[in-house]
Amino acid sequence: METLIIALIFVVLVIVTLVLGVRIVPQGSKHVVQRLGKFHKTLGPGLNIIIPYIDTVAHKVTTKDIVLDIPSQEVITRDNAVIIANAVAYINIISPEKAVYGVENYQIAIQNLVQTSLRSIVGEMDLDDALSSRDQIKAKLKTAISDDIADWGITMKTVEIQDINPSPTMQAAMEEQAAAERQRRATVTRADGEKAAAILEAEGRLEASKRDGQAKVVLAEASQRAIQKVTEAIGENEIPVMYLIGEKYVESLKALATSQNAKVVMMPAEIPAAIRGILGGSK
């Protein structure tokens, strides 16, 4: 009985030893092995043999690209504008032993490094440049981080700026500024239109006055020539002139009598005598 128990214990020890000595590493991963608490080697994908009870797998590290989400943060630009920016970084671990022994937590370390570099880069730019220069910020950010994380055995594949927007307060101020600018432009446009209309109206009145003056001059000259011709035609004979005057006077009285506003027509007493004088004055 005792022999059977010893045999069973021996078998169990053998099985445990084999299990501890054989390590199968999946594709896309690497295992960091320590020997008696000290780094010994890195196991690649596939079947690996280690010394049981002496060698232990201390860390399991992925060799696939890791996506790090960089939290949003407030950044102050060179012209003292506040914007909110966040990013996403793609990294790859080249040397697992450096990543696990070079820094306590490489993911948190890279996140803080990206945030710090992003604040530094955007802080050297004006608001307009920061909002419109994502590619430039991306290139500077990648360059600034790559050298630092290389000591940790990590390479920066790429870093992308997800969002870079003004803060709510700044955005409200920008909207008010844009509305004020549009209002100013509308006021200037309206004032320019009214000014142009007033100038055109004044020029129209000036042109009309010039034309009226020219017309009056033409009429005066025509009246002068007509009077000269009538004077030359009549000579010393006044009867035709008196006849024309009487005819115009009678037509004026007739128009006055037919007017709706005329109620009483007063005819001077000397009119008949004047007409008889005109018609029979030669007798």
Which backbone phi and psi does 31 adopt, to 5 degrees? -110, 135
pLDDT value at residue 116: 92
Cα 91 to Cα 156: distance, rounded to the nearest angstrom:
5
- Per-residue pLDDT 10s for the chain (283 aa) are 778 788 888 888 888 888 888 889 999 999 999 998 899 999 999 999 898 889 889 999 999 999 999 998 988 888 888 889 999 999 999 999 999 998 889 999 999 999 999 999 998 988 888 888 888 999 999 998 988 899 999 999 999 988 888 877 766 666 677 778 788 888 888 888 888 888 888 888 888 888 888 888 888 777 777 667 766 666 665 555 565 666 666 676 676 667 666 555 555 555 555 555 544 554 4
First to last CA, the chain: 188
> Which is nearest to 90 in space by CA: 71, 115, 64?
64
Burial class (CB in 10 A: 0-12, 13-18, 19+), 32: buried
Statement to judge: residues 57 and 85 lie in one domain: no
Statement to judge: residues 244 and 202 lie in one domain: no
pLDDT value at residue 283: 44
pLDDT value at residue 33: 93
Quick one: which H or E segment has residue 265?
none
Burial 147-182, CB ≥16 within 10 A → b, else e? eebeebbbebeebebeebebeeebeeeeeeeeeeee
Statement to judge: residues 97 and 157 lie in one domain: yes
Count structural domains, the chain.
Answer: 4
Global pTM exceeds 0.75: no
pLDDT value at residue 68: 92
Statement to judge: residues 231 and 189 lie in one domain: yes
Cα 136 to Cα 129: distance, rounded to the nearest angstrom:
10
For residue 25, the cross-strand partners are 46
Q: Which domain holds residue 274?
A: 237-283
> Which is nearest to 127 in space by CA: 179, 177, 188, 75?
75
Show which of 151, 166, 181 is a domain's final residue: 166
Overall size of the chain counted in residues: 283
